[in-house]
Structure 1
């Protein structure tokens, strides 16, 4: 499969297909990355919720299965917030009735829900493990870290949700831009604004970003099959990043309750919510989103909001209940199919090439 109309991402990242697997923290690991890489796409390992040792183990597993193939390590680069005990107390109080309902101990210390930002240890890990690609979410880390990552030989990607963010990423060291439309599942990559009304759809975002920057553009959001890939290329993207479609694959690490929600939710039943982490992220509507509203001013800043929900999740998920769980998914979820990730990747690429050739 070499007759792609735009080879910039293929040549930049040394991959065969213009398909990148979204690095979905908590839902993907080496198994999914291996399958996508073997098909010719770019596999990704999300690192924000893993220890350094866990990241090394995942990399070694990937390298053993995919010698010579490119790998993307993904990191968050948010600024950790200063904990606000009063706000935490107000947020927990808003959930007290749920604690009583499920039998959770409201007086127990609140667990810590953490997402580690890219730091010195992360940078040293990149320098030692030398992944071919390093991608970031929520902008970029400080300039010295970006320089060190690039000096290690890695290509640098990051997500932009507006043209202004894309221009900033280009000016600050990115090798390619992921244009993340509002349809995408999981956390918004937004970093210039906290206003979710600033977020626009993939079909509007991709051509504007492609016109504004000189770098190759990767389209993300609402792309679940070959038609999305063809459309993205027509809009000026060089490749696509696919997330939700891979959640249906057996290599994804999603809970039974999450799988059930993916199989039964309608395409219109997702919303942006800050309840689970403190940052806007798209997921399938569930009870807590409906009863509290998907966006709440009470939710502490990312990633502190999730700690209060952990006791509720622990009890209800054990019962197969997703009332208090984040069910990340994008608006194209109804395009999902229960196929092995390698087969899915190859089929999307093959059918896209057939359509391009018409």
Structure 2
């Protein structure tokens, strides 16, 4: 008999621990996924920044090194139409930084891209057949989703409001990730672009649990066993952590990101659209302070980052996205496997009245 108070996610996904390592594009590689899976949790491989061959290779590597279920995560945004006038206005707004740093303003603007889920990616899933597939920004069109489900994969997606959670259940999700406003990285919002609709996890979670019949996974601001226990108390069947895994040696983060995570204060994150054109939470740096974290000037997602790339090459700390959630100061210097196991052990100890983390 399981020691966990709710085993629906364990039963649904075939995992031992109700702990999901959050997919973090550009940060999470196969090594982190493999370690999380082999420790008993659910490792999650982000695919939004991979081409088809890179995706196939990543899934092959994971499959060769773990026999546990793992998750593959995709974005579901609509590819943007380039608005050249808006793109030029955005670059002009950044021109003083180009001049200060000695970046070539007249060179062609690099392309910043995230790949939405499409037929080519779906073909890889049909070949590799991972046990879990998750989506961000809603779900893919029905024909693609039907093909994913036909592989036998369980489907997850992020909801940032009760309305999104209900929509996801109605459109075929097997479980829903309730993403609180505290969470790092891109907001999963897809039914509205109004940031005023976004609420904290402990307000959102019980309302989502009450509104849907599928299991709910809590995400946002959870960094230790205390947060996991609280999430279970509010009806979660599992938790997803991202920022906690940024402190592991498997995290592929820059030196600037590494320093920021270990020196910034707990109040120094903000939701910003400067780096991609879509709201995402990260540690505040110079460009966010001076322009303001949110501006209507940015090109559509994910094109906004292109004009920042030459500046990032000159000064990564001040001009790159340093994604992190509000709970990042709870991070500990452990390996992915150690972190996953420690979180589980400490949570069970608290649930059974044997201590606190």
Q: In the alignment, which residue of structure 2 is the partner of 1:36? A: 36
Give the structure 2 partner of residue 64 of structure 1: 64
2:12 & 2:70 partners in 1: Cα distance?
13
**Distance of 2:58 and 2:193 partners within structure 1:** 33
Residue 306 (structure 1) aligned with residue 305 (structure 2): yes
Stretches of 4+ aligned residues off by more than 6 angstroms: none
Provide the C-alpha distance between the structure 2 equivalents of 1:142 and 1:294, rounded to a whole number of angstroms.
Answer: 32
How far, CA to CA, are the matches of 2:97 and 2:350 in structure 1?
51
> What does residue 236 of structure 2 align with?
237
**Aligned residue in 1 for 2:24:** 24
CA deviation map 1:245-299 (0-9, x unaligned): 0000000000011000000011110000000000000000000000000001101
Per-residue Cα deviation, 1:116-147 (whole angstroms, up to 9, x for no partner): 00011011111111010000000001011111
C-alpha offsets along residues 44-89 of structure 1, whole Å, 9 cap, x if unaligned?
Answer: 11001011111111112111211x2111010000011211000001
Matches within 5 A, 1:102-251: 102-251=101-250
- TM score, norm. by length of structure 1: 0.98
Alpha-carbon distance in structure 1 between the residues aligned to 2:313 and 2:74: 26
User: Is residue 333 from structure 1 mapped to residue 325 from structure 2 by the alignment?
Assistant: no
**Which residue does 2:9 correspond to in 1?**
9
* Map of 1:46 onto structure 2: 46
> Given the two structures, how large is their TM-score scaled by the length of structure 2?
0.98
- Quote the Cα distance in structure 2 between the aligned partners of 1:167 and 1:108: 46
Q: State whether residues 2 and 16 of structure 1, in contact with CA within 8 Å, keep that contact through their aligned partners in structure 2.
A: no
Other-structure match for 2:255: 256
Listed as ranges, the gaps of 5+ residues in structure 1 are none
- Name whichever of 278-287 and 224-233 sits farther off: 224-233
Secondary structure, aligned partner of 2:319: coil
CA shift for structure 1 position 216:
0.1
Number of residue equivalences: 353
| Partner SS for 1:323 | helix
Residue deviations 1:175-233, cap 9 Å, x none?
Answer: 00000000000000000111111100000001000000000000000001111111111
Instruction: Check the 8 A contact 1:283/1:327 in 2, yes or no.
Output: yes
Match of 1:323 among 318, 327, 351: 318
Q: CA deviation at 1:93?
A: 0.3
CA distance in 1: counterparts of 2:85 and 2:129, whole angstroms: 43
Structure 2 Cα separation of the partners of residues 90 and 219 of structure 1: 39
Q: In the TM superposition, what whole-angstrom CA distance separates every residue of 1:284-323 from its partner, at most 9, and x where no partner exists?
A: 0000000000001101110010000011111223xxxx10
Partner SS for 1:253: coil
Whole-Å separation in 2 of the counterparts to 1:316 and 1:5 = 48
> How far off is 1:332 after superposition?
0.3
Determine helix, strand or coil for the equivalent of 1:89: helix
CA offsets 1:137-169 (integer angstroms, 9 cap, x no match): 000010111111000110000000000000000
| Gaps in structure 2 of 5+ consecutive residues | none
Structure 2 residue matching 1:75: 3-state secondary structure = strand
Q: Secondary structure at the match of 1:17?
A: coil
State the alpha-carbon separation in 2 of the partners of residues 173 and 143 from structure 1: 9
Cα RMSD for the two superposed structures: 0.8
Residue aligned with 2:156, SS: strand
Counterpart of 1:218 in 2: which secondary structure? strand
Q: 1:346 is matched with which residue?
A: 341
